Amino acid sequence: PLQLIYPVTKRTKMSHRKFEAPRSGSLGFLPKKRTKRHAGRIRSFPKDDGKAEPHLTAFRGYKAGMTHVVRGVDRAGALMHKREVVDAVSVVETPPMVVVGVVGYVETPNGLRTLTTVFAEHLSEEFKRRCYKNWYKAKKKAYTKYAAKYKDGATDIEHELE
């Protein structure tokens, strides 16, 4: 009979797995798939000044890439004074924004709550297309009842705006 003889070797103890096979990439970017909606959202707004008139408080922008710029340093007493340095910069794309409505809020003990929303009288077809998943098969009835309010007389809408 044939016998197999295994060589006896000293096993080196494996250290912790995180050192032996560290993961590649951050789990914060999971799931790695294409987004359903490409419209970004504004995650934080500046502190509201109640005395100021209503105004635009945020603007949507998308990071489109990075590049570098050469700039002159103008700081008296600095080592690099009157010299040029290269800095990395982000390119932020800010597509044109169109106001389609106004949202009114009321302050409650739990924070702000939506009171009413007033949309514009004429909404572009481009905006209405974004409300549907399949524009081709849709009945295209979005905002038709709301537009009828303007035809009846804008007293209802004026009351909501106040």
Check residue 10 and report its DSSP letter. Answer: P
Per-residue model confidence (pLDDT) at position 135? 94
> What DSSP assignment string belongs to 91-155?
EEE-PPP---EEEEEEEETTEEEEEEEEE-SS--HHHHHHT-S-TTTS---TTHHHHHHHHH-TH
The verdict on pTM exceeding 0.75 is: no
Pick from 22-31, 73-82, 88-97, 144-153: least confident: 144-153
Pick from 12-16, 33-37, 146-150: least confident: 12-16
Query: Does 91 have pLDDT greater than 70?
Result: yes
pLDDT digits (tens, 9 = 90+) for 139-156: 999 988 888 888 777 777
What is d(CA 137, CA 29) in angstroms, rounded to the nearest whole number?
A: 34
